[in-house]
Amino acid sequence: AQRVTQPEKLLSVFKGAPVELKCNYSYSGSPELFWYVQYSRQRLQLLLRHISRESIKGFTADLNKGETSFHLKKPFAQEEDSAMYYCALRYSGGGADGLTFGKGTHLIIQP
Amino acid sequence: ETGVTQSPTHLIKTRGQQVTLRCSSQSGHNTVSWYQQALGQGPQFIFQYYREEENGRGNFPPRFSGLQFPNYSSELNVNALELDDSALYLCASSLGQGFAEAFFGQGTRLTVV
């Protein structure tokens, strides 16, 4: 069965410092990975997906199939980055086509 | 363009009762997925509807059922409520099968007492 692991429940860094939110997955098929973000009092929204290989709000994530990882990175954290971040894996097969989410990492950017 | 809306926002039910949650998908979207998010956990996939038919299901028992209507709005029904069903229920809509970007609603907070 597929699984997404986010080892850090809480990550606190200072403004201007680099940020890395870790995500590891297990999946027997070809993975599609995503990062979702939830800002305070807002709904869950897509931040980026690995197939588009784009940078959103300064964040990037590279899929490393050898290490089964999809870590989210930003070189210089900003206070507005404080939010809940979820890594998700799309799976299909057996009639199901949905997302498996990790438990999330609460990122706090301190001034 | 209207976003995904869910109703009600909160509700409290008694163990053993039945509940219906509603979701209006984003304009033009024909696929709706439902997720359960327990406290401190990530969302868990319940099922997906595409053009009024169930398109896939996660690891949830049959007492979790759903419907999608011709206007692509959707309902999630849960029978014989259990205390562990207390959670935030999220609806997400997208366009087409496969995985286009899913847009989430604000959720319905269900408390079972």
Q: Enumerate residues 6+ apart whose C-beta is below 8 A from A97.
A: A90, A91, B48, B55, B56, B97, B98, B99
What residue ranges in chain B does DSSP mark as E strands? 5-7, 10-13, 19-24, 31-37, 44-50, 53-57, 64-68, 74-78, 87-94, 103-104, 108-112
User: A75 pLDDT exceeds 80?
Assistant: yes
pLDDT digits (tens, 9 = 90+) for A15-30: 999 999 999 999 888 8
What pLDDT score does B98 carry?
A: 64
- Mean pLDDT (whole number) for A45-52: 88
User: A94 pLDDT exceeds 60?
Assistant: no
Identify the band that residue A38 occupies on the pLDDT scale cut at 50, 70 and 90: very high
Burial class of residue A95 (count of CB atoms within 10 Å of its CB; 0-12, 13-18, 19+)? exposed
What pLDDT score does A37 carry?
A: 96
Q: Return the sign of the alpha-carbon dihedral for residues B73, B88, B44, B98.
A: positive
- Mean pLDDT (whole number) for A74-79: 96
Q: Smallest CA–CA separation between A99 and chain B, in Å?
A: 6
> What is the average pLDDT score of chain A?
91
The tens-digit pLDDT sequence of chain B (113 residues) is 569 999 999 999 999 999 999 999 998 888 999 999 999 999 999 999 988 998 888 899 999 999 999 999 999 999 999 999 999 999 999 887 666 788 999 999 999 99
Of A73, A84, A89, A75, the closest CA to residue A26 belongs to A89
Write out the two tokens for B45. 């996939």
User: A95 pLDDT exceeds 70?
Assistant: no
Contact B29, B96 (CB under 8 A): no
A43 — contact with chain B (CB < 8 Å)? yes
B2, B99, B108: best mutation site toward chain A, by most A Cβ within 10 Å?
B99
Q: Smallest CA–CA separation between A41 and chain B, in Å?
A: 9
Identify the band that residue A92 occupies on the pLDDT scale cut at 50, 70 and 90: low
Distance of CA B29 to the CA centre of its chain: 15
Identify the band that residue A91 occupies on the pLDDT scale cut at 50, 70 and 90: confident
What pLDDT score does B97 carry?
A: 67
Contact A90, B92 (CB under 8 A): no
A56 — contact with chain B (CB < 8 Å)? no
Of B81, B79, B61, the closest CA to residue B15 belongs to B81
